[in-house]
Amino acid sequence: MHVGFLGLGAIGAPMAAHLARRGPLTVWNRTAARAAEFAARHGATVAATPREAAAADVVITCLSTSTDVAGLLEGADGILAGLRPGALFLDCTSGDPASSRRIAARLAERGVAFADAPVSGGTNGAEAGVLTIMVGSDPETFARARPVLAAFGKRIEHVGPVGAGDALKAVNNALLAVNILALGEGLCALVKAGVPPRLGLEVLNASSGRSFVSEVLVPERVLTGAWPRTFRLALLDKDVGIATGLLAETGVPGPVIELAASLLSQARATLGETADYLDPIRLTERAAGVEIRG
Ligand code: NDP
């Protein structure tokens, strides 16, 4: 099975590397040097245009936003110009449900099946090939998608119709954001109250306030000061914005997630487009005049 992969960013590249080991792969990236570097390292054909990359049995996109995916569809060099009827299109972007439904409808006009298939597990999970993948599609499309997604996924779930994967991913990342913001505040207060942060975290992690952020992210990245850049704050901000849209669309009051969205947007404006998603903790540290290290 020939796969075309578009979007070799922080998470797209390690996902595509698994596909390169399984069979013929064509890659395209907006910044062409990244595609050339990927092909030299993992073995793949570099496409000059999205159209060329889309002339495959399965086309996978992993771009920043649904808007970016929609922007690659049209035009003489666009994805639609290269897609063959009967192909399968999987969008691993953390997208927004309404855009995914529009993209699915446009592809259906060409006889191409679509699934939104956003992923969770970070760049480490992508490298290890153990991502969680939330798929929104009809059941037949999911049955075709599953073996392809298994190249880089471990838990691959069909969660509903097109858009459902995006909705679930947005809620997941809203919870991630709430945890990051609240834990940053709580730990700064604990440092000021005289609790050593490593001890405080250990006790939290043996208690009911624990989360992925307290068990993994803060101990490995903040306490150590290692703070690698693996996921841009701009992308988390985008995801929490999708979650607030979902709340509005479904008529669910969501003051907590809306506040998190507002705080993240402010942090993004202050820290810029390349900041890491844990960097809002630095803003809290700065405002509190303490650091969470140890
Ligand atoms: P990056 O910012 O590292 O990479 C984004 C990719 O999209 C790059 O290949 C970039 O091309 C491409 N791109 C962006 N805009 C356009 C455009 N208008 N036209 C064409 N190509 C475009 O992002 P990530 O790889 O981290 O994230 C990709 C998706 O995966 C996002 O939706 C993100 O929310 C999601 N995600 C990321 C995770 C992570 O840990 N990083 C975890 C889970 C999900 P170029 O190289 O030219 O900039």
**CA separation (Å) from 192 to 98, 143, 213, 291?**
45, 53, 21, 10
**Token couple for 179:** 């945890």
Give the pLDDT score at 44. 98
Of all residues in the chain, what percent carry a pLDDT higher than 70?
100
Alpha carbon 137 to its chain's center: 18
Report CA torsion sign: 205, 223, 213, 155. Answer: negative
CA of 64 to the centre of ligand 1 (A): 4
Q: Is the CB of 172 under 6 A from ligand 1?
A: no
Q: Is the CB of 12 under 6 A from ligand 1?
A: yes
Q: Which alpha helices (DSSP H) does 129-211 contain, by range?
A: 139-149, 164-192, 197-204
**CA separation (Å) from 187 to 96, 222, 247, 262, 278?**
33, 11, 29, 21, 14
Nearest partner of 238 among 145, 107, 149, 118, judged by Cα: 118
Mutate to test the pocket of ligand 1, among 235, 238, 264, 268 (most ligand atoms within 8 A of CB): 235
**Token couple for 170:** 């947005």
Q: Are 47 and 82 in contact (CB under 8 A)?
A: no
CA 185 to CA 260: how far, in whole Å?
13
Query: Does the predicted model carry a pTM greater than 0.75?
Result: yes
Q: Whose CA is nearest to atom 8 of ligand 1?
A: 9
Three-state DSSP state, 279 = coil
CA 35 to CA 16: how far, in whole Å?
11
User: 191-201 in b/e burial notation, b at 16+ Cβ within 10 A?
Assistant: beeeeebeebb
Give the pLDDT score at 192. 98
Task: Give the single-character DSSP code of 6.
Answer: E
Q: Is the CB of 171 under 6 A from ligand 1?
A: no
CA of 93 to the centre of ligand 1 (A): 7
Q: Are 87 and 57 in contact (CB under 8 A)?
A: yes
User: Scanning the structure block, which residue is given the tokens 């989360």?
Assistant: 211
Q: Is the CB of 282 under 6 A from ligand 1?
A: no
Q: Is the CB of 280 under 6 A from ligand 1?
A: no
Q: Is the CB of 131 under 6 A from ligand 1?
A: no
Q: Whose CA is nearest to atom 16 of ligand 1?
A: 68
Give the pLDDT score at 118. 99
CA 170 to CA 128: how far, in whole Å?
23
CA 13 to CA 8: how far, in whole Å?
4
Q: Whose CA is nearest to atom 23 of ligand 1?
A: 9
Ligand 1 atom, smallest distance to 31 CA? 47
Give the pLDDT score at 115. 99
Q: Is the CB of 277 under 6 A from ligand 1?
A: no
Give the pLDDT score at 182. 98
Q: Are 18 and 148 in contact (CB under 8 A)?
A: no
Ligand 1 atom, smallest distance to 122 CA? 40
Q: Which residues of the chain have pLDDT under 70?
A: none
Residues acting as catalytic residues: 169
Give the pLDDT score at 207. 98
Ligand 1 atom, smallest distance to 239 CA? 34
**Token couple for 99:** 């855009």
Ligand 1 atom, smallest distance to 94 CA? 32
Q: Is the CB of 284 under 6 A from ligand 1?
A: no
Give the pLDDT score at 280. 98
Residue 9 sits at the vertex; the CA angle it makes with 157 and 100, to the nearest 5 degrees, is: 45
